[in-house]
Amino acid sequence: DTTCPLVRKAHTALAQLVAAGYPPVIIGQASHVEVRGLAGDFPQAEILLHVGEISSLRCHPKIGIVSQTTQPITKVHELVRCIRERFPESEVVFRDTVCQPTKDRQAAMEKLCRENDVVIVVGGKHSNNTRQLVLTAQALGVRAQQVEQAADLQPEWFHQADRVGLTAGTSTLEETVAEVQA
């Protein structure tokens, strides 16, 4: 079994919530393989990614929430807060299943954006944590580009940039980051 231990933690947390009688809610992208795996184990789970989707949740006396491991924790906390507001009579239990490397990279991205004009994020096109890093930089007003390899770099990205930051998604190989840096 080569399942990431942090993804396994999300499955275990959701299983414990369901066993304790909490109808499950998963915060994440419904099409993402990790969320599909959680929902496959718990087909009664309701999945949401945006605040606007909370209105479609059914009311239950108890609600158990986990998150896709690569979601930004600030977004997850906001959704949990909104679910609690929508169902004030419900006992809402949230198990934080966002992985620590994702949290660390998101926090580091904020610092990187304060110090750089452009940020390059190295990672796979389909990597959610890579995509979230790019979105975080853009939300902070910094030009950000995602690349899978050094050959993807475009010279025009660096025009009028004095400082360039570099980061990577959690599963990106160090050799690939070093190649992009060089």
Q: Which of 34, 85, 156, 179 is catalytic?
A: 34
Would you say residue 26 has pLDDT above 90?
Answer: yes
Q: What is the CA radius of gyration of the chain?
A: 18
Beta strands at 118-122 and 143-147: parallel, antiparallel or unpaired: parallel
Q: Using the predicted structure, report yes or no on whether residue 2 has a pLDDT greater than 80.
A: no
Nearest to residue 153, comparing CAs of 181, 125, 114? 181
pLDDT category of residue 102 using cuts at 50, 70 and 90: confident
- Per the CB < 8 A criterion, the answer to whether 69 and 28 are in contact is no
**Catalytic status, residue 179:** no
H-helix segments, 20-154: 33-41, 73-86, 100-115, 128-139
Q: What is the pLDDT of residue 66?
A: 97
Judged against a pLDDT cut of 80, whether residue 1 lies above it is answered with no
Provide the percentage of residues in the chain whose pLDDT is more than 90. Answer: 80
pLDDT at 101: 85
Res 52: pLDDT? 95
Is residue 158's pLDDT more than 90? yes
- pTM for this model (two decimals): 0.81
Q: Is the pLDDT of residue 149 over 80?
A: yes
Q: What is the DSSP letter of 51?
A: G
**Lookup: tokens for 63:** 């609600």
49's tokens: 């990614």
Helix (H, G, I), strand (E, B) or coil at 90: coil
Residue 5: predicted pLDDT = 82
